[in-house]
Chains A and B, each alone.
Chain A
Amino acid sequence: MRPRSALPLLLLAACGAPFPCAEDELLRADGLCVPRGGGGGGDDTQPPNDDTADTGEPPIVWTTLPATCEVPTSLPADTLVQTGQDKRGQDKPGQGFFVELIDLELHGDRVYGVGQGGLMVYDVADPTAPALLGVNPSAGNGRYHRVEVIQDGLVAVTHRDRGLELVDVSDPTAMKTLGVISRAGIEGLAWDGDRLWLTDRARGLVPIDVSDPTRPVEGAATPGLSAPWELSPILNNWSYVSDNALGVVPIDLNNPDAPVIHPAVALPGATQHVTVADGHLYAAIGGAGVAVLSLTNPAAPSIVRIVPTGGSAAQVSAADGLLWVADHEGIVVYDLSDPANPRPLAREQTEQFALAIRAAPGDRAWVGDWNILSGWALDRDGAAPSLDPSTDSPRLPAEGGETSVRLTNRGDDTLTLSGATVGDARVTVEVSATAIQPGEEALLRLTWSGGETLDTSLCLSSNDPDEPTLTLKLTAGVVGDYLGQAAPDFALTDLNGDTHRLSEQLGAPVLLAYFATW
């Protein structure tokens, strides 16, 4: 999303790499910047009503679907299925166990997860019945961010405020913290078999001698990082830092006593997590998707393409020729037969927020879905479409008009739209195509005549085996408890000590983005 520069005041706390394009340019899906209004296809910011006249493409021929929304009599088998889950959800505040899984590690028949709940150990010997064995709570406020397995029974975890902890997990019901390095700003972890590497916001890359886990010893730091989130697994003496501000930072560990931090590769999005497979690096970069980089020169990865996932890519994991992505909304699986060109195979919306993922043997993966650990299996021999709408709650102009929803097929078989019904006769529904090939998209155009408040739903049927009937909520005008109300005035100071009053901004739109509201 690129708000126009005319937005006079944007109250937003954000971190991430600088947007690589100029103000009058768009970022194309392949990572190139193109002028607005033409010069390239595939961008996400075409106005909803545009019939592609600006790009020279043939005008869209809109089709009305049959006024029906029924599950087709014949559906392909779902290729991506959940095998089991351990659910410690918090359905009501104050009840249950708040987990918030944000990082996972798989080691044998154990999954180690960290988050607000602390360090959780799961038994995953039976993929259909993962079971939480024990919890090492994160004392005080805040959460553990990263976990790394050092050896059987010993893991390292990091806490942004408290530092590094080495934990004996040989008995998950009675875990013991053995050694601690107390320092704020520590997060990323990687184990090279001999020493533990961690990232420190203030000091850079730091080696840790954990030969005596009760007395971890820091080595000399190598500066050159900015906002490091994680270190990739170390392969061939190379690791890559996902630096939220800089992008991907190559680390040469051929001489571990003198690591070399190479220049960062800026990416179009906040780099959150990276993995390496088959001579390529895959970086989760939030709303932009996954960046694919070639490691022909490991010191200077080069961008090959950007692959939108439909959500906000948070973690990636590769194994056995598959790339698994957790993108907040759910998970997406790609075929890496051509490592430079990941081919979508399946997508699944998870119950909560998919923030962590680890590939497992046998075309499986474990997903940290906020308060749920879930196991998934892919049927690589199967083929099925997967409908992914750009929004599940499109809003129409209050005074009447139209809007469009992008329908993307993230599966590996043709998606066929078979019908649509709307609960309000003032709304018409048209599509730009009834058959959508794998990896491609069509537009769903909604038009309404205006009038009193619109608050209805649209049902769309297709041959997506996971969700053959999809419901979108349609709204327009003043609905809900907030829309149309006067925004409460406030006067707050910024980081420079200057006061900003909301009422002084009247006449221009203002975006308030509250983050870290806990």
Chain B
Amino acid sequence: MPILLDPGGATRRQYEMVNAFPTAAYPQQWLIGVDGTIVFFNNELEHEALTTAIEAELAKMGR
């Protein structure tokens, strides 16, 4: 699981999440699907929704 550095936050600004919790202090999660489009995003602690989204994408790969 590589940890990538985003010095200056240029990439983070591309993934700015409108209406996120004002402090943006919680992790923001973006799931990019097998076709390269955004299929899920949130900045809350909803494990099940994220799991469902990941498994749906993996299913597209036949896994």
A6-B63, A483-B38, A517-B12 known; A391-B30 Cβ under 8 A: no
A501 to chain B, nearest CB (A): 10
- Residues of chain A within 8 A (CB-CB) of B5 are 492-495
Nearest chain B residue, comparing its CB with the CB of A94: B22
> Is the beta-carbon distance between A7 and B58 smaller than 8 angstroms?
yes
Expressed in whole angstroms, the Cα–Cα distance for A518 and B27 within the complex equals: 10
Contact of B23 among A4, A90, A483 (CB under 8 A): A90
- Residues of chain A within 8 A (CB-CB) of B33 are 509
> Is the beta-carbon distance between A515 and B27 smaller than 8 angstroms?
yes
Stretch at the interface among A9-17, A189-197, A214-222, A453-461: A9-17
- Residues of chain B within 8 A (CB-CB) of A484 are 37-39
Contact of B31 among A353, A390, A502, A510 (CB under 8 A): A510
> Is the beta-carbon distance between B3 and A494 smaller than 8 angstroms?
yes
B14, B41, B48 — most chain A CB neighbours (10 Å): B48
Q: Is chain A's interface secondary structure helix, strand, loop, or mixed overall?
A: loop
> Is the beta-carbon distance between B38 and A312 smaller than 8 angstroms?
no
- Residues of chain A within 8 A (CB-CB) of B57 are 509
Expressed in whole angstroms, the Cα–Cα distance for A513 and B3 within the complex equals: 10
Contact of B61 among A6, A394, A406 (CB under 8 A): A6
Nearest chain A residue, comparing its CB with the CB of B4: A492
- Residues of chain A within 8 A (CB-CB) of B18 are 481
Nearest chain B residue, comparing its CB with the CB of A482: B38
Expressed in whole angstroms, the Cα–Cα distance for A512 and B34 within the complex equals: 14
> Is the beta-carbon distance between A10 and B1 smaller than 8 angstroms?
yes
> Is the beta-carbon distance between A517 and B24 smaller than 8 angstroms?
yes
> Is the beta-carbon distance between B41 and A393 smaller than 8 angstroms?
no
> Is the beta-carbon distance between A503 and B3 smaller than 8 angstroms?
no
Q: Mark B23-63, 1 if CB is under 8 A from A, else 0.
A: 11111111111111111110001111111111111100101
Which residues in window 486-518 of A have CB below 8 A to B? Answer: 486-488, 490, 492-495, 498, 500, 502-503, 505-515, 517-518
> Is the beta-carbon distance between A391 and B29 smaller than 8 angstroms?
no
Expressed in whole angstroms, the Cα–Cα distance for A287 and B27 within the complex equals: 14
Task: Give chain A's interface residues, CB within 8 Å of chain B.
Answer: 1, 3-4, 6-7, 9-14, 44-45, 48, 90-93, 98, 100, 116, 287, 311-312, 328-329, 353, 390-391, 393-395, 397, 403, 406, 481-488, 490, 492-495, 498, 500, 502-503, 505-515, 517-518
Q: Identify 23 residue pairs between A and B in the complex whose beta-carbon atoms are under 8 Å apart, listed by A's number.
A: A11-B3, A11-B4, A93-B22, A98-B23, A287-B45, A393-B46, A395-B49, A481-B18, A484-B39, A485-B38, A486-B36, A492-B4, A492-B5, A495-B5, A509-B57, A509-B58, A509-B61, A510-B31, A511-B29, A511-B31, A512-B29, A512-B31, A517-B9
